[in-house]
Every structure is written in structure tokens, then in C-alpha cells.
Amino acid sequence: MEPRVNINSRQMFLQINNINNMSVGSDFVSSPQAQRQSRTSSASNGSKQRSSATDRESATVTYYRSANVWYEDGNIMLVAQKIAFKVHRSFLGKHSSVFLGMIETASKQRSSGKGLLLDDCPTVAVKDDPKELAIFLNMLYDPGNDPYFRMPHKPAPIEWVSALVKLGEQYQVQHILDEALNRLICICPYTFAEYKLMRATTYTYIKDYPRGGMAITIINLARSQNLPTLLPFAFYLCCQLPVDQVLHGVNRDDGTVEKLSSDEIVRCLNGKEELVKKNVLLMQSLHSYRPNKERHRKSECSRLAMSTIAHHSACCSDIMGYDFSAWERCVCRECRTAHEKIANGAREKVFSMLADIFFLMKV
């Protein structure tokens, strides 16, 4: 049963915590200590009063003020998991028809004496993660001060991208959705041409790419937001993660674990096995290459080529991952070009098969 709030007396427990956890995406911490203190004071007057204290406890709810999204002249309160964001109804309504509808409903409820009033503002309860909502609202209010907005050369944390894709879509704020989606599209190409473009650019778009288990976040995001074109390459990236990350997920800064569903784990591991086979076939093709003796100028060519092939044959699923630029100084142009051509042909073919390899729906 939902705790009730005594709106008649307006004694809202809007506890103001100046909150300091500033890892990306987290501009507040809910404070269990404050909640404990509140409960302790309610129940400190002996056993006779315990039942009335318990009544009071069940009749009140503690809210925490967002540290970063709180405008004193705001006139509507968004509440996500007990975190309150004091914002402006006209501003939100201007940018989002979804917000407009929610705000109008909350205002009507207040006019008829229903609904919750916090700090004299009508309240809209949302189901969003408060950390993500803070990222989104900050971007909406003040994109100029956002360190990543319209700066694709500055790699953004995956949590930032994920929050903006989810809430940009949910509240239908297109420019925010486009900004975040663009980064995902750039690192999860759907065609081989897009892939080559990505390899040619020096931008990384997302921090720590492709490490940090972000492929797991991208897969989950693509599933929840219906973004199927991201999936084939996201699964390819996932295959390059250590198996324990694929199985158990990755720890995020906020203490949560981002993990794949068991179906997605199976999909990933089956696909990985298939990629290893494709890679072995490619290595066999490279191994069978015989240089043109007249133009073949370096005696080291065969030895280096063999060494590379041996290295990348051993259970390697990263058929896209190595390049031949390291050969530039020690392998003749003839051999290098020939190997590159064979590899790129195989990669293009594998790329076009990624959706099948991972048993994904064709888009």
C-alpha cells in the first residue's frame, strides 16, 4: 500500500539534503540516514506511543530535493523515486507535449482538491530513474553548459547517452534524442560502409569505447527502445568482452549491475562461436596466399604473416579487430595489399551476416 501524505496540513517532509555524489549521471543520493533519523524521532517516546508513531510514520513520506535541478521560482514538481525536481510548467510544456499533458492533469487535480502539493507546487509522479531524469532535465534547461552536447569529439559516458535516448524518446524531445542516438549509431554501424567510416574517424563518441561492458548497456537499450539496427554490431562488441562479463554483467558506478537476459547470453555465446569459425576460415585464406615472387621484396613477409595468422586463429572472434597498418614497415606492399583485400572481403561478408549470426530479426 502506498504511503499517504497529509496534504491538508501541508506538512510535507521535503527534506533538503545537500547531496554530493557527483559521478556522472548522479547528482544526488537518497539518504537512508535521513530516513532513519526521521523514523527514530517518530518512535522515540516509549512503547505506549509506538502505535501512534507507527501511524504517523505510515502517514508521511520523505522527499529529497534534487541538488542540480531545483529552481526556486519553479511551479511544478516532478517526483521520481522520492527525489523532487522543482521546474517550470511552461518551459517543460513548451518542449514536450508529453510533459504538457502530465502537467495539465496534475494542475486539474489540484484545482479539484486532489493530488499532492509539494513546496506549494502541484506534483507529477514519474517512473523514471532520478539520475537519468536529472541528466535529461539539465540537458533540456541548459544544453550550452552540457559538456557533451553537440561535441561529438568529446566522448560521453554511456550512462549519459542511455539516459538521453530513453527520456528523449519518452518525452518526445527530438533534438535530445537525436543527439544521443547519433553517438550510438556512430559506434554501432549497420552496414560495412558505415563500419569503414567509423574505423576511419578518430572520434570515439562514447567514453571507454569499446570497453567497460558498454555493449551490454547498448543491447539492453536497443531492446527497450526498439532500436534493432544497433543490435548486430552491439552483439559483435559483446562477443569481445570477457566471458564473465557476458555471463554476470558489469558493475556501474551507482552500484547497480547491467546484465544481459539469459536469452541474450545464449545468443551472444552462440554467435561468438560462429564468429570464431568465420575467423579461422579467413586465416586459412590468408595462409593459402602465395606472393608474386617478382614483386615480393621482403624475406620477412611470410614469417610475419604466419605469426599474425597464428595469433588471430586462436579462438579469436574479432574478425574486424586487427588491421594491417602494423605491417607497413616490415611486409612488402604486394603482400600487405593482398592480405588486406582478402580480409576485407571476408569482413564485408561477415558484416552482412551479423544479424543471422546472432539470430536477430532483419531490419
Work out the number of other CB atoms within 10 angstroms of the CB of residue 222.
Answer: 21
By beta-carbon proximity to Zn ion, the closer residue of 154 and 303 is 303
Question: Counting contacts by CB under 5 A, is residue 338 touching Zn ion?
Answer: no
Q: How far is the CB of 297 from Zn ion (least distance, A)?
A: 6
By beta-carbon proximity to Zn ion, the closer residue of 266 and 330 is 330
By beta-carbon proximity to Zn ion, the closer residue of 10 and 287 is 287
Residues 298-327 that bind Zn ion (CB under 5 A): 301
Task: Spell out, one character per residue from 245 to 284, where the chain touches Zn ion: x when CB under 5 A holds, - when not.
Answer: ----------------------------------------
Applying CB under 5 A, which part among 72-80, 158-166, 242-250, 333-341 lies near Zn ion?
333-341
Applying CB under 5 A, which part among 100-108, 133-141, 332-340, 343-351 lies near Zn ion?
332-340
Name the packing angle between helices 192-200 and 333-357 (round to 10°).
130
Peptide bond into 157 cis (omega under 30): no
Q: How far is CA 93 from CA 88, 104, 161, 307, 352, in A?
A: 8, 9, 23, 62, 43
Q: How far is the CB of 321 from Zn ion (least distance, A)?
A: 23
By beta-carbon proximity to Zn ion, the closer residue of 301 and 354 is 301
Q: How far is the CB of 283 from Zn ion (least distance, A)?
A: 18
d(CA 301, CA 305) in angstroms, rounded, equals 6
Strand-pair category, 121-126 with 76-80: parallel
d(CA 285, CA 281) in angstroms, rounded, equals 6
Residues 201-240 that bind Zn ion (CB under 5 A): none
Element (H, E) at 106: helix 97-111
Q: How far is CA 175 from CA 8, 47, 95, in A?
A: 41, 57, 10
The candidate with the shortest Cα–Cα distance to 259, out of 286, 241, 282, is: 241
Cβ neighbours of residue 2 under 8 Å, at least 6 residues apart?
A: none
Question: Counting contacts by CB under 5 A, is residue 88 touching Zn ion?
Answer: no
Question: Counting contacts by CB under 5 A, is residue 332 touching Zn ion?
Answer: yes
The one among 31, 296, 318, 348 contacting Zn ion by CB under 5 A: 296
Q: How far is the CB of 296 from Zn ion (least distance, A)?
A: 4
Binding residues for Zn ion, total number by CB under 5 A: 5
Name the packing angle between helices 174-187 and 130-141 (round to 10°).
110
Residue 62 · residue 13 · CB < 8 Å: yes
Q: How far is the CB of 280 from Zn ion (least distance, A)?
A: 23
Q: How far is the CB of 326 from Zn ion (least distance, A)?
A: 15
- The torsion angles phi and psi of 220, rounded to 5 degrees, stand at -65, -40
Question: Counting contacts by CB under 5 A, is residue 291 touching Zn ion?
Answer: yes
Cβ neighbours of residue 140 under 8 Å, at least 6 residues apart?
A: 92, 95, 173, 176
By beta-carbon proximity to Zn ion, the closer residue of 194 and 340 is 340
Question: Counting contacts by CB under 5 A, is residue 342 touching Zn ion?
Answer: no
Q: How far is the CB of 358 from Zn ion (least distance, A)?
A: 37
- The amino acid that residue 139 corresponds to is M
Q: How far is the CB of 256 from Zn ion (least distance, A)?
A: 52
Q: How far is the CB of 21 from Zn ion (least distance, A)?
A: 57
Question: Counting contacts by CB under 5 A, is residue 335 touching Zn ion?
Answer: yes
Applying CB under 5 A, which part among 75-83, 143-151, 230-238, 291-299 lies near Zn ion?
291-299
- Footprint of Zn ion (CB under 5 A): 291, 296, 301, 332, 335
